[in-house]
Amino acid sequence: MLKQKLIDKYNRHLNYLRISITDRCNLQCMYCMPPGFIPRLHHNEILRYEEIIRIIKVGISLGISKVRITGGEPLVRKGVYDFLKRLADMDGLSDIALTTNGVSLKDNIEKIKAAGIKRINISLDTLSRNKYKEITGHDKFEQVWEGIELAHKKGFDPIKLNMVALSGVNDDELADFARLSFSYPFHIRFIEYMPIGKSRMKYGPLLLVPEIKRRISTIGKLIPVKNSINDGPAERYKFEGAKGEIGFIGALSHHFCNRCNRLRLTASGQLRPCLLSDHHEDLKSLLRKGCSDEELADIFLTAVRHKPSDHNLSISNPTEVLSQMSSIGG
């Protein structure tokens, strides 16, 4: 069995690499992107698929076994379906997942399936067409919902729906989202808004997990579901008789840093040991200078040494992180 080498000084075993393959997106969500014109990385600044694959192979040799492809919107990048297929065919990965806004799902679900992806997370913050337009800047709710239904029909399981809970924006829909778990076997995940980078959000009162739980508990008793080893930071629950699950991701109210098993590779080839810290190690420059795999592995180990014990972002200390979520990948 492969020896896990990515163990940090707090004895966390880092086996999970989240990879942003593009900073581009076909939406402009109010909590993720600033308004107006958004500067984009130049084509040359973005890692090529070959480069990402080489980095993943080095990661696998150090103990990475799980990857998630994200963005920006990963499905807008040319060649993504072939890339996903190459990942699925790669030795050493036990889990390959995708996070998407769902805009391109309907037209491409067969390609995602053919590529060998089984697990998808779809971001959806409202069930109202008008509000969807307000949140994302685009009138795509129906297209996304049809994509979700189709993914369900085609047997993707589990389908996780990520809802960022925003005070005064979609907090009147918390119970409606929770009720979806009775009609569909979906995992509905309520995510606390993280005030990082530039966005259209104004800092009002943040809607935190204890309050979200309180509000959805009005529809039934939340029964805890035991976390499995591959589970991320979500606290899992189920309503009695429901087909699906409920999850809560409370980066602010409930630090889960002690269980964090993640590293992140940004679209521009930086390895980040923590989502909520701007510290990064530059893999791309070294890669493009023709370095060896051993040198790339050293960068992984350096990133691991810099993984903080926990993050500083808090309700009283927002805007600590300058990077954009769309370039890190969430």
Secondary structure (3-state) at 213: helix
- What distance in Å separates the CA atoms of residue 178 and residue 217, rounded to the nearest whole number? 9
Binding mask 91-110 for ligand SF4 (x = CB under 6 A): ----------x---------
Three-state DSSP state, 231: coil
Shortest reach from residue 249's CB to ligand SAM, in Å: 8
Q: Which stretch binds ligand SF4 (CB under 6 A): 29-37, 108-116, 231-239, 276-284?
A: 29-37
CB distance 17 to 57 below 8 Å: no
Rounded Cα distance, 92 and 319, in Å:
37
| Window 30 to 49, contacts with ligand SF4 (CB under 6 A) | 32-33
Q: Interface residues for ligand SF4 in 8-27 (CB under 6 A)?
A: 25, 27
Return phi, psi of residue 172, to 5°. Answer: -80, -5
Asked if residue 330 binds ligand SAM (CB under 6 A), the reply is: yes
- Per CB under 6 A, which region of 35-43, 65-73, 285-293, 303-311 contacts ligand SF4? 65-73
In Å, what is the CA distance from 127 to each residue of 26, 47, 176, 178, 198? Answer: 19, 35, 8, 12, 25
Q: Which residue matches tokens 């009138």?
A: 139
15 binds, among ligand SAM, ligand SF4, none (CB under 5 to 8 A by kind): none
Q: Candidates 8, 73, 245, 281: give the one binding ligand SAM (CB under 6 A).
A: 73
Q: What is the DSSP string of 48-116?
A: PHHHHHHHHHHHHHHT--EEEEESS-GGGSTTHHHHHHHHHT-TT-SEEEEEE-STTHHHHHHHHHHHT
Beta carbon nearer to ligand SAM, 136 or 181? 136
If the CB atoms of residues 62 and 213 are measured against ligand SAM, the closer one turns out to be: 213
Binders in 108-127 for ligand SF4, by CB under 6 A: 123
User: Considering the rule CB under 6 A, would residue 326 count as an interface residue with ligand SF4?
Assistant: yes
Taking CB under 6 A as the criterion, the residue among 15, 22, 101, 136 binding ligand SAM is 101
Q: Does 321 bind ligand SAM (CB under 6 A)?
A: no
Q: Does 29 bind ligand SF4 (CB under 6 A)?
A: yes
Least Å distance between CB 101 and ligand SF4? 4
In DSSP notation, 249-278 reads E-TTTS--GGG--EEEE-TTSEEES-TTS-
Report whether 101 contacts 125 (CB < 8 A): no
Residues that bind ligand SAM (CB under 6 A): 25, 31-32, 70-71, 73, 99-101, 123, 162, 164, 191, 193-194, 196, 325-326, 329-330
